[in-house]
Every structure is written in structure tokens, then in C-alpha cells.
Amino acid sequence: MAISERWRKFWQSDSTRAAVQFEHWNEHITQDDIRVLFLTTLKEGNNVLVPAITSTELEYFQTTLGSLDVAADGQIQMASIVRFLAQAHGSRTDLIPSVASTIETLIASHAHFPFSAPVGMSKDALCRAIILGKRSANVLTQDDLRSSTQL
């Protein structure tokens, strides 16, 4: 059973079995399972959260992946991500390579979120990094601050 299905069953269960099911879930879940569940929630939403990415954005991401250098083991090469960014942001073409190490660090830190243990730069890891990076840039906008004070 997929991790997200187990998690949903846990939350839909009656309270008498909830503690036992949570203990079972907690004993068997891995960091990779949590990352997959986290990415699935970001992409699809759940009964509380709306998806953090639109289907159009996800399609664009899938298309863009084809232009990146991917090793035989499925790992995306950071240098190809930096090259893509430099090409995509024409006005900053000269700047992006000069800050490549910072960009790579930010992408890697977002990719292994919510844990500190590094992960390889797989398609899912890059997707998680992009969604988190994009959404975190909007977290403290004036609109967000205004709406939070109205709660």
C-alpha cells in the first residue's frame, strides 16, 4: 500500500484504533516515504490544502526536464540546471553562472526538505525544490501578511 494511502487510512480511522495505526505508520515510514508524501501533497493537495502547483506549471516542468542532463542513475546534473536558468533568464545570463554555487546550494537544500540528510537530484527532488522555492518567495508578501492578521 502506498504511503499516502496508509496516511489517509490513518486519518479516516476511528479514534480507538488511531493510536495503534499511528504507531504502526510511525514505525514503518522512512524519510523517503515522507518526502514522497510531501511532494504528492504539494502537487495534488489534500482535504485541507490546495495544490501548490497548477497542472500547467507541472506540464512545463515535465517538458523542461527533457532539456536537462540526466545521468544513467536518474540524477539531474546541477550544471545543466544552472545553464537552463541562464538561458531562461536572458537579462541575467551573465549573472547566473557567477552565483551558481549559491543557486546549487539553495536547490539542494530545498530538495532534501524537510530533513537535513542530502538526497540525490532526482526528478522528484528537483520538483520539490522548485515548488518550495517558488512558494517560499511568496510567503511574506503584503497580501499574506494582511490576511494573517485578519484571522
Query: Which residue matches cell numbers 536537462?
Result: 68
Write the DSSP symbol of residue 1. -
For residue 144, the model assigns a pLDDT of 45
Helix boundaries (H) for 29-99: 31-44, 55-65, 78-88, 95-98
Q: Distance between CA 136 and CA 113 in Å, rounded?
A: 13
For residue 104, the model assigns a pLDDT of 92
Render pLDDT for 87-139 as a digit per residue (tens, 0 to 9): 888 888 888 889 999 999 999 988 888 888 888 999 999 998 988 887 765 55
C-alpha cell at position 60: 512545463
For residue 80, the model assigns a pLDDT of 93
pLDDT above 80 for 142? no
For residue 102, the model assigns a pLDDT of 92
For residue 10, the model assigns a pLDDT of 57
Write the DSSP symbol of residue 139. T
Q: Which one has a higher pLDDT value, 148 or 96? A: 96
pLDDT above 60 for 38? yes
Q: What are phi and psi of 45, to 5 degrees?
A: 75, -170
For residue 71, the model assigns a pLDDT of 92
Render pLDDT for 71-82 as a digit per residue (tens, 0 to 9): 999 999 999 999
For residue 99, the model assigns a pLDDT of 92
Q: Distance between CA 77 and CA 79 in Å, rounded?
A: 5
Taking CA atoms, 6 is separated from 18, 27, 31, 47, in Å, by 12, 13, 15, 15
For residue 118, the model assigns a pLDDT of 85
